[in-house]
C-alpha cells in the first residue's frame, strides 16, 4: 500500500470475469487483462512505478518479467495477488469495474 500512496499504479492483469467477482479496492487501478495486453502496452506509464497484480501473482510475474527489458524496470509484482491482498485485510470490492478503475481496451464493436 505504501507504493500506491507514493504514486505507483496498480495494473490488474486478471481477466474481466475474474475482476467482476472481486476487484482491488484502491483509488486507481488499470485493468489490463493479460489476454489483451499486447495491443495496449503503450497505455502503460513509464514515468511512475507499476505494481503488477493478478489472482495469485503468477500471471503478473509473467508480464512483469516480459516487460522488464522494454523499460518497465520500476515495476514490481504483487506476490500472492488479490488472494494475499484480501488475506492481509486490504480493501477488496465485489463486482465489476468501479469508478476508480480504467480499462486499457478498444471500444466494443458498435460503440
Identified catalytic residue from 23, 26, 53, 54: 54
β partners of residue 10: 29, 51
The three three-digit cell numbers of residue 32, written as one number: 489490463
Q: What are phi and psi of 29, to 5 degrees?
A: -135, 135
Those residues whose C-beta lies under 8 Å from the C-beta of residue 81, and which sit 6 or more positions away, are: 53, 54, 55, 56, 57, 58, 60
DSSP 8-state class, residue 108: P
Residue 39 known to be catalytic: no
Place of cell 504514486: 7
Q: Which residues are known catalytic residues?
A: 54
Amino acid at each position: 500500500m505504501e507504493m500506491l500512496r507514493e504514486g505507483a499504479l496498480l495494473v490488474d492483469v486478471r481477466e474481466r470475469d475474474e475482476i467482476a467477482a472481486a476487484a482491488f479496492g484502491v483509488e486507481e487501478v488499470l485493468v489490463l487483462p493479460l489476454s489483451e495486453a499486447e495491443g495496449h502496452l503503450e497505455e502503460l506509464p513509464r514515468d511512475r512505478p507499476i505494481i503488477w497484480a493478478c489472482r495469485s501473482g503468477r500471471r503478473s510475474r509473467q508480464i512483469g518479467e516480459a516487460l522488464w527489458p522494454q523499460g518497465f524496470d520500476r515495476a514490481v509484482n504483487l506476490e500472492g495477488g488479490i488472494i494475499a491482498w484480501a488475506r492481509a485485510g486490504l480493501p477488496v470490492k465485489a463486482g465489476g469495474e468501479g469508478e476508480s478503475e480504467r480499462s486499457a481496451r478498444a471500444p466494443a464493436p458498435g460503440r
